[in-house]
Every structure is written in C-alpha cells, then in structure tokens.
Amino acid sequence: MLRVVTLSTLFPDATRPTFGVFVERQAQALAARDGVSVRVVAPVGLPPWPLPRAARHHALATLPPRETWHGLPVARPRFAAIPATRGRWHAPLLARALRPVLDDLWREAPFDAIDASFFFPDGPAAVALGRRYDVPVSIKARGADIHFWARQGATRGQVRASATAADGLLAVSAAMRDDMAALGIDPARVRVHRTGVDLDRFVPVERRRGAPHVVSLGALIPRKGHDVVIAAIARLPGVTLSIVGEGPERARLMALARRLGVAGRVHLTGAVAHRDLPAILADADVMALASASEGLANAWVESLACGTPIVIADAGGAREVVTTPAVGRIVARDAVAFAGAIGDLIAAPPPRAAVRAAAERFTWAANAAALHEHLASLVHRHRTGRG
C-alpha cells in the first residue's frame, strides 16, 4: 500500500467549490487506484487579525477542520497569512500549522510520501515536513507558483531552495519545465505531468441556434486577459460573449464593455459550478482566453473535450495543446489578433470530432497512473538509499 498525503493550498471547499477543482480530481483519481491511500491536507490561509470588508475570511474560518469531501478525507488546518509581507512568512507559518495535523495523521497511519500540489507556499512547507517524518517529497509547478512567487524577492529563494531539496519535481507542461529551468532549477529533475479531463462529462452536444457565441473562462484578474477578449468582440458585430468567473476585475470589465458599446453582447456570469461547465463550453462556438501566463490551463482541455475550438495567447503549454489548426489558434495577445482568429473559426468551424480528439490524451486515469508511478519510485529510492 502506498500511503500519500496530498498537500494543497488550492483545494475546493463549501465557500469556494471550484477553487483548485483540478487538484481534487487528481487526488480522487489517485485514490481510486489499487494499492493507494490518499489523505488530503488543504490548509486555509487567514490573516492573524480582522480586516475590513473581509467577509470571505469569516466564511473560511467556519470551515470544518476535518471532513470527507467528495469521498476524500480532508483536513483543513488554518495558518497565518500575514498581509503586506509579500509572502515572506507564508511557508514557515504554514509548516508550523501543519505539524500537529500531520502528527495526528502519522499516529493514525504512517504515510509514505508527501505530494505538494502547488509550489508555494506548499513546497517549502512540504520539504520541512518531509524531513520531520523522513519521507520523500514531490512538488508540482502549475502556473502562478512559478510565474509569480518564484520571481518575488521575498519568496524567490524559498522556491528555489525547496526545488533543490525536494525528492521529485513535477510540471504541468514542458513550457513550465522550461520556465523552471530559467530560474536555475535543473530541468533533468523535472517530470512533465499533464492535467486530466473527465471525458465522460465534457462531451460535445447539439448547439442551440442563435448568434455566434464565445466563452472566456477564468478568474476576473488582469492576468487572464478578459479585457482583450471584450475588445475583440467589439470588432465582431453580432457575436456574443459570456465571461465565466469571478474576481476583482468585474467592475472594470463591465465599464470597458459599456465604453466599447458592447454591454448588451457581453455577459459576466459570475462563478459557475464545475458540474455546469460542460454545457456552457459545449454550447459555445469558440472558447477564447487571452492569458498573459499559464501552466497548462484546464479550461483549454475541457473546451476541446466539448468539441469547442480555442483561441489563446502563446502562454505556457499552449503549443502543447493547440497542435493542429483543427484545435484552434494561438495568436498575439491583442484585440485585433483575437478578433481575426475568432471570426475565422466562426466562419469555418472545424469538425467537432477533430477538436474532441485533441483532448483524448488528457485523462485523469493517465494522470493518476503517472503520479502513482512517480511517487512509488520516490519512495523506493528513499528506502533503498538511492535518492
């Protein structure tokens, strides 16, 4: 039996049911394999003192410390995330908060490995805890953990030190591995471990008749580039846009749509339950996402599984997903380029079966099998002294 602790500050809860849902799916797929036991530790960062207008913190503080979440045993310890410190203390404070929780898990059943699903602050904390329990540690790079935290003065050194100390490293795309190498992390130690998609849920369906429709899927933050897609829609008369997600950019995006005269054709839906995404994506003519940076976005693969082509910027693993014109387009991150590509795909839509085929190599079964083999090999090397 391989006993794994999955450590992830990105994990869904009752207040954020879509937050890190890909980590939940990965953990479920790994736990479903014969000979594997998975316990999830999903820490919740909270400021150590009350902040004004912080209702979300109050909601997070009410989460149960332990629960069964969609079949997975989940512990939700709190740790102090001190504002205005640029993350400098996140990892040591996280490690301190995790010790009693993992001590309890160890007493219940000693675990064999710690799988950190995000590089910061999870990675440095996982390394410290791996030493405490003398178990190997794997850390996965997904996106902002490398593109943001590994470039901040207060946290850059912590990220690089944890990469050096970890027993195994994963990256969600080959492009992410290259980004890690640019930071001085040995690429030979990094294994590409791509995401999965539920091909039974994300499927093509008959589209409704009506105006051509585009979906942009992601948090309402500058990095996702929803403003670029809105400006592109302003160049495509009669085309409508739904932006699925929530975040601090909502008011600015609505103001932009009004200023460009497309408020009647742009709809900000807010956050949508993950179970409702297949119908939304399958009904769109195009999914457009102008991200400035990504690892390998789940939204790309989920759209393709629904038979919906994508228009994306050349970010992260984009070229590892859009490998043929039938899949979609990779274009410059500006309104003119996005409008041209969206218009081309609406005018001459690729066969949906060909679009769907591009997603069929991204399965949770393959993801779990690769993760199982990776972690088992780390445990074997650790026990035999060949780490």
pLDDT digits (tens, 9 = 90+) for 176-232: 999 999 999 999 999 999 999 999 999 999 888 789 999 999 999 999 999 999 999
Q: Are 187 and 180 in contact (CB under 8 A)?
A: yes
240-244 sheet: strands from edge to edge: 266-270, 240-244, 213-217, 286-289, 310-313, 328-331
What is the per-residue pLDDT for 84?
A: 85
DSSP per-residue codes, 301-330: HHHHHTT--EEEES-TTHHHH--STTTEEE
Structure tokens at 139: 């850390």
Q: Which fold has domain 2-196+363-384?
A: Rossmann fold (3.40.50)
Residues 6+ apart with CB under 8 A from 197: 298, 301, 302, 305, 359, 362, 363, 364
Q: What percent of the chain has pLDDT over 70?
A: 98
Instruction: Using the predicted structure, report yes or no on whether residue 234 has a pLDDT greater than 90.
Output: yes
Q: Is the pTM of this model over 0.85?
A: yes
Span 232-246, mean pLDDT?
Answer: 97
Q: Are 377 and 170 in contact (CB under 8 A)?
A: no
354 contacts 325 by C-beta, under 8 angstroms: no
Tell whether the model's pLDDT for residue 22 goes beyond 70. Answer: yes
Residue 286's pLDDT band (cuts 50, 70, 90): very high
pLDDT category, 54, cuts 50, 70, 90?
low
pLDDT over threshold 80, residue 309: yes
Tell me how crowded residue 42 is: count the other CB atoms within 10 A of its CB: 26
Residue 259: strand, helix, or coil: helix
pLDDT at 206: 86
> What is residue 51's predicted lDDT score, i.e. its pLDDT?
60
Buried b (16+ CB within 10 A) or exposed e, 288-318: bbbbebbbbbbbbbbbbbbbbbbbbbebbbb
Spell out the domain ranges in the chain: 2-196+363-384, 213-357
Task: Render pLDDT for 59-90 as a digit per residue (tens, 0 to 9).
Answer: 888 899 999 999 999 999 999 998 889 999 99
- Which homologous superfamily is 213-357 in? Glycogen Phosphorylase B; (3.40.50.2000)
Model pLDDT, residue 202: 97
Confidence of residue 52 (pLDDT cuts 50, 70, 90): low
Above 60 in pLDDT, residue 53?
A: no
